[in-house]
Structure 1
């Protein structure tokens, strides 16, 4: 189990602040969803945690700065799926997923690696695609393979940037069920960027709402109030609770509608 802590994180593109004093925690066995409007800094936050960007502030794994990890150890502990997950490599689906085990692969592929790749394909019900080439797949199928590649590594920290963006509703629900189940079972610290607020409310234990590069609010899904939705997203919305106490959001209108009429 690895706890992810972020303290006073700052990042700028060409001297323009994108992230401003971000502080948050992601606990093992919990799914934390990062939500917010476009250009709030959500993807940038994940890239900073993954070590792709170099921010100011602290990113800690069980109290140890990620800058103090060897690259191979960080790659083993943290699995990151970006929005830009396309590949031009001529690989089969099985080979592509197997590459997710790159930290353990040597000249000889172990039975354990082969079993892990096959098991994740079966759990996601895409094992029938195993012999297909990646460049033959639809966008949604490639997205499923990318998610499988992130999960097969059995990471301690899982970073997912809009993993359901190219999927139909059925696969969105199945993937989020799978991610949540594995997060609990393997005690993963999972941080996921989502645009779909109802899915975020249903599958996340904690929400972090970013706006203009800052944490506007964080906590249980109950932070999604009509006032928050109006302030952050500029929409009038109805928020009701289902039988499990999970917020259900029904957009009604843009707050700008009367000005545009």
Structure 2
């Protein structure tokens, strides 16, 4: 299995965000972090792969066009988590995850669905939220429930738009660990838009770096994330060093002058 983007053009009202975007094939089991400053197209890229925006070019999963695929089949193949949090509705968390699972996977029995929900609630550490109403939850708790709605379906492609934005550090680590496990255990491909470069360095196989100038870089994090690329993408003077446990970390020293 692999994800292929070839000659992809997408935009809004005649304003292109990407023109002729071509990336190396992303193999099964990969966790790719899509990074870059605000307004460079991270969300647009994920939405276009998810089939939520008109796209020119090839977007293929294992040789099959995602853009030409009927919606019910596409829903079975990919799980998409938008930036917007699940609405604070009066339904309990278990109901919302059950509904998401059954609407996409009608072939599963109730027993299959219940077992999958129990497993994902346990893995994410949110069993205590199962019978809580979303209207009674914090934004971070609703974000965890939204992630459960995606992970429970065990799709081969995961598109997660800033899944840790409303979470504290403990839950951020928990989420990225769970996504990493899904990629490893299921052979899934996960694209995760993020602003946290250090989490990306810690968990991801590859980085896809988008810059305001339109430059795009993709590859192993420690190879492509150089001081020069950080200056180009973020307008900062920064360096990559290793912590006492050997993990690479980005240290930002100062913002570069825009004058």
Report TM bin, short chain: over 0.9
Distance 2:75 2:115 in 1: 20
Which range moved further: 4-13 or 212-221?
Answer: 212-221
Conserved? CA contact 1:9–1:55, under 8 Å: yes
| Residue correspondence of structure 1 range 53-202 to structure 2 within 5 A | 53-101=53-101, 102-105=103-106, 110-202=110-202
- CA displacement at 1:13 relative to structure 2: 1.2
For 2:170 and 2:67, the matched residues in 1 are separated by: 39
What's the offset of the Cα at 1:181? 1.1
Specify the alignment match of 1:238 in structure 2.
239
Deviation of the 1:109 alpha carbon: 5.8
Distance 1:227 1:189 in 2: 28
Structure 1 contact 22–215 (Cα < 8 Å) conserved:
no
Classify the secondary structure of the residue corresponding to 1:68: coil
Q: Structure 1 CA distance, aligned partners of 2:165 and 2:31?
A: 18
Q: Shift of residue 246 of structure 1?
A: 4.3
- Asked whether the 8 Å contact 1:94–1:118 carries over to 2, the reply is no
Cα distance in structure 2, aligned partners of 1:26 and 1:158? 12
Task: Work out the CA distance in 1 between the residues paired with 2:27 and 2:247.
Answer: 20
- Gap runs ≥5 in structure 1: none
SS of 2:90's equivalent in the other structure is: coil
Counterpart check, 1:3 vs 2:2: yes
CA distance in 1: counterparts of 2:126 and 2:74, whole angstroms:
28
Displacement of 1:91 after TM fit?
A: 1.2
Q: What is the TM-score with the length of structure 1 in the denominator? A: 0.92
Shift, 1:242, TM fit: 4.3
Distance 1:43 1:215 in 2: 17
Let me know the Cα RMSD of the aligned residues: 1.9
Regions of 4+ moved over 4 Å: 242-246
Deviates more, 1:69-78 or 1:45-54: 69-78
Give me the whole-angstrom Cα distance separating, in 1, the residues matched to 2:215 and 2:56. 16
Q: Kindly indicate whether the alpha-carbon contact (under 8 Å) linking 1:156 and 1:189 is maintained by their aligned counterparts in 2.
A: yes
Number of matched residues?
Answer: 256
Secondary structure of the 2:96 match is helix
Structure 2 counterpart of 1:224: 225
Q: Distance in 2 between matches of 1:88 and 1:124?
A: 20
Deviation at 1:159, TM superposition (A): 0.4
Larger relative contact order (C-alpha < 8 A, sep ≥ 6)?
1
2:22 matched to 1:17?
Answer: no
User: Do the aligned partners of residues 215 and 22 (structure 1) sit closer, same or farther apart at CA in structure 2, a change above 3 Å counting?
Assistant: farther
After TM superposition, give the deviation of residue 245 of structure 1 in Å: 5.9
